[in-house]
Homo-oligomer: A and B are copies of this chain.
Amino acid sequence: MTADRQTFVTHLECSMTGERYEADELHGLSRVGRPLLVRYDLDAVKAALPKATLEARQTDLWRWRELLPVRHTGNIVSLGEIETPLVPIPKSSGSANVLVKDEGRLPTGSFKARGLVMAVAMAKELGVTKIAMPTNGNAGAALAAYATRCGIETIVLAPQETPEVNIREIAAQGARVYRVNGQIDDCGAIVGRGAAEGRWFDFSTLKEPYRIEGKKTMGLELAAQFGWKLPDAIFYPTGGGTGLIGMWKAFDELEKLGWIGSERPRMYAIQASGCAPIVRAFEAGEEHAERWEDAATVAAGIRVPKAVGDFLILRAVRESGGKALGVGDPAILKAVDDCAKKDGLLLCPEGGATLAAYREALRTGEVDEEERVVLFNCATGLKYPMPEANAAVDRFAEIDLGAL
């Protein structure tokens, strides 16, 4: 990573129309208002990168550099994007074949680091000096950390109900952060207005093309960790859906490199019952999802009433033979509690949603316990309120040891 290197990006294209856009220019959404996808010369990657070369590298996000968009290594920004571990949770899941991909180990404690490290590096490469973004918390923290690290000015807008710990983390890492009296798409509207006026660059989910390339590394990593034979099913907590879309893209690219076959995991998009636009659209057979009104769930990271990449999420779920599934807040909280108390792993509520959905899917026969399943725990459980402990204060001299 110390020298400039051959790159393989050929162009960008509209995810809806296929219209072509030049690489190496600043882009937002396509002309029809849809996400742009980065395309690579995969034949050239195949020639340049033998699988053994990849496997000999340090197992961090940047080992995949030939499949990533950054052209100049000097623009790489990093806080140590390690490969996240797969942790079995046999007791709380009821299956020895369920693995949690623990994304809370990434910088700033969430999988948002994957998308933002890439988007910020590309913003640096393309000369952006001021960024604004709406966030439910974790994306803002990741943006703040990486943008601060390379000297880009950042403004973050969060819904009023965003937990204080997230607001403080964003501010501590050098961004200016504001609470907004509305949902995340209301925050997004402000960001869009300012971007239209030329005040800043809009970093909303999927509105710049590179977060998806960073999130794609979840799929690349899974393939490598599973020895190039993908799991049977993936349960993914779905708000904006960048990661699900990114993994789906990663699998296609890996197949074109000849590193995996044509088999795909069933992709399960997991939402909270209190904000389930993708589930509703999936069940109705729609290609797009209507905005979900009065969104409410403990799992703030998937409290996204309207996703600009809705059709890409629904397409991946359907092509894979998966489903979009909703789970209620009580089941989410119960799953978080069970996983910590039985398997010693503290999930975030969104991760809890995937476990709750898996348990329900096991009950209904949608999955069976022999299947190899990956649940995404998208952030460290430490950022979220935990139930009050039963901790008593005792004067040590007076403690009755027999009662402990």
A residues with a Cβ closer than 8 A to B are 58-60, 78-87, 102, 105-109, 132, 144-149, 155, 157-158, 160, 164-165, 167-174, 176-182, 186-187, 189-190, 193-194, 197, 199, 337, 340-346, 380-383, 386-396, 399, 401-402, 404
Consensus secondary structure, chain A interface: mixed
10 contacts between A and B (CB under 8 A): A80-B85, A80-B86, A149-B343, A167-B389, A168-B387, A170-B389, A173-B346, A180-B396, A181-B396, A382-B383
Task: Assess whether B341 is in contact with A172, with CB atoms less than 8 Å apart.
Answer: yes
Check B342 against A174 for contact (C-beta < 8 Å): yes
CB contacts (< 8 Å) of A199 on chain B: these are 401-402, 404
Which residue of B148, B155, B197, B380 is within 8 Å of A344 (Cβ)? B148
Name the one of B86, B165, B180, B387 contacting A172, with C-beta atoms under 8 angstroms.
B387
**In the bound complex, do residue A173 and residue B344 qualify as a contact, i.e. CB atoms below 8 Å apart?**
yes
Task: Please tell me if the beta carbons of A386 and B172 are within 8 angstroms of each other in the complex.
Answer: yes
Whether the Cβ atoms of A172 and B82 lie closer than 8 Å is: no
Q: Is the CB of B396 within 8 A of A189?
A: yes
A383 (CB) vs chain B CBs: closest residue:
B382
A195 to chain B, nearest CB (A): 10
CB-CB < 8 A to A160: which residues of B? 393
- The minimal Cβ–Cβ distance linking A383 to chain B, given in whole angstroms, is 6
Select which of B178, B380, B402 is within 8 A of A392 by beta carbon.
B178
- Which of B82, B87, B155, B194 is in CB contact (< 8 Å) with A105? B82
Interfacial chain B residues near A108, Cβ < 8 Å: 346
Selected from B345, B388, B394, the residue in CB contact (under 8 A) with A181 is B394
Given A60-B85, A396-B186, A404-B176: A145 and B389 interface contact (C-beta under 8 Å): no
From B180, B383, B388, B392, contact of A168 by CB (8 A): B388
Closest CB-CB distance, A289 to chain B, in whole Å? 22
Residues in B whose Cβ lies below 8 Å from that of A172: 337, 340-341, 346, 381, 386-387, 389
| A177-B145 CB under 8 A given contacts A59-B59, A404-B155 | no
- Give the shortest distance, in Å, between A188 (CB) and chain B (any CB): 10
Q: How far is the CA of A60 from the CA of B102 in the complex (A)?
A: 14
Contact flag A401-B340 (CB < 8 Å), given A85-B80, A393-B181: no
CB pair A181 B383 closer than 8 Å: no
B79 near A345 (CB under 8 angstroms)? yes
In the assembled complex, the CB of A48 is this many whole angstroms from the nearest CB of chain B, namely 23
B396–A174 contact, CB under 8 A? no
A378 CB to nearest B CB, Å: 15
Which residue in chain B gives the minimum CB-CB distance to A197?
A: B401
- On chain B, the residues within 8 Å of A87 by CB distance are 78-80
- Assess the A180–B399 pair: CB atoms within 8 A: yes
Contact: B132 with A404, CB < 8 Å?
Answer: yes
Which one of A78, A158, A180, A383 has the greatest number of beta carbons of chain B within 10 Å? A180
Q: In the A-B complex, list the 9 residue pairs whose CB atoms are closest, starting with the nearest.
A: A80-B85, A171-B389, A145-B344, A149-B344, A168-B386, A148-B344, A179-B393, A174-B341, A172-B340
Min Cβ gap A224→B in Å is 11
Please state if B393 and A194 are interface contacts (CB–CB under 8 Å). no
A56 CB to nearest chain B CB (Å): 9
Q: Are A169 and B386 in contact, CB atoms less than 8 angstroms apart? A: yes
Inter-chain contact B346/A178, CB cutoff 8 Å:
no
